[in-house]
Amino acid sequence: MPNSTYNIANYIAPGRHVHLVGIGGVSMRPLGLVLKGMGMTVTGSDMTASASTQELINKGIRVTIGHQAENIEGADCIIRTAAAHNDNPEIAAARAAGVPVFERAQAWGEIMKAYKNAICISGTHGKTTTTSMVTHIMMEAQKDPTVMIGGYLPLLHAGHRVGHGDTIILESCEYCDSFLNFFPTLAVVLNIEEDHLDYFKDLQAIENSFHKFAASARSGILANGDDPNTVDAMQDLNYTTFGLREGNCIHVRNITDDFHSYDVICDGEYYCHLNLGVVGKHNAINALAAAGTAWMLGIPGDVTARGLATFHGAGRRMEHKGVFNGADVYDDYAHHPGELSALIAAVRTMKYNRVIVCFQPHTYTRTAALFDDFVRELSKPDLTVVAEIYAARERNLIGISSRDLVAQIPGAAYCATLPAVTDWIKANAREGDIVLTVGAGDIYRAGEALFK
Q: For each of the domains in the chain, give its residue range(s) and CATH number, in order of start.
A: 3-104 (3.40.50.720), 115-309 (3.40.1190.10), 319-451 (3.90.190.20)
Query: In this structure, are residues 402 and 414 in contact, taking their beta carbons and an 8 Å threshold?
Result: yes
Mean of pLDDT values over 312-335: 96
Q: What is the predicted pLDDT for the residue at 289?
A: 98
User: Phi, psi at residue 388, to the nearest 5°?
Assistant: -65, 155
Mean of pLDDT values over 2-30: 89
Q: What is the predicted pLDDT for the residue at 1?
A: 36
Beta bridge partners of 386: 359, 414
Quote the CA–CA distance of 56 and 128 in Å, as a whole number: 23
Burial tier of 7 (Cβ tally within 10 Å: 0-12, 13-18, 19+): exposed
The DSSP letter of residue 362 is: B
Query: In this structure, are residues 171 and 127 in contact, taking their beta carbons and an 8 Å threshold?
Result: yes
Quote the CA–CA distance of 56 and 24 in Å, as a whole number: 8
pLDDT at 2 over 50: no
Q: What is the CA radius of gyration of the chain?
A: 22
Ranking 47-51, 279-283, 385-389 by mean pLDDT, the lowest is 47-51
pLDDT at 130 over 60: yes
149: pLDDT confidence band, cut at 50, 70 and 90? very high
The DSSP letter of residue 331 is: E
Cβ within 8 Å of residue 54, ≥6 positions away: none
Quote the CA–CA distance of 221 and 217 in Å, as a whole number: 7
pLDDT at 158 over 80: yes
Mean of pLDDT values over 72-97: 95
Higher pLDDT, 6 or 184: 184
Report the predicted TM-score, pTM, of the whole model to 2 decimal places: 0.91
Using alpha carbons, list the distances in angstroms from residue 172 to 30, 158, 175, 451: 15, 17, 9, 34
pLDDT, one tens digit per residue, over 207-218 is 999 999 999 999
How many CA atoms lie less than 13 Å away from 97 in the CB half-sphere?
18
Q: What is the predicted pLDDT for the residue at 4?
A: 55
Query: In this structure, are residues 46 and 147 in contact, taking their beta carbons and an 8 Å threshold?
Result: no
The DSSP letter of residue 5 is: G
3: pLDDT confidence band, cut at 50, 70 and 90? low
pLDDT at 5 over 80: no
First to last CA, the chain: 52
Quote the CA–CA distance of 256 and 274 in Å, as a whole number: 11
pLDDT, one tens digit per residue, over 360-416 is 999 999 999 999 999 999 999 999 999 999 999 899 999 999 999 999 999 999 999
Ranking 27-31, 117-121, 421-425, 438-442 by mean pLDDT, the lowest is 27-31
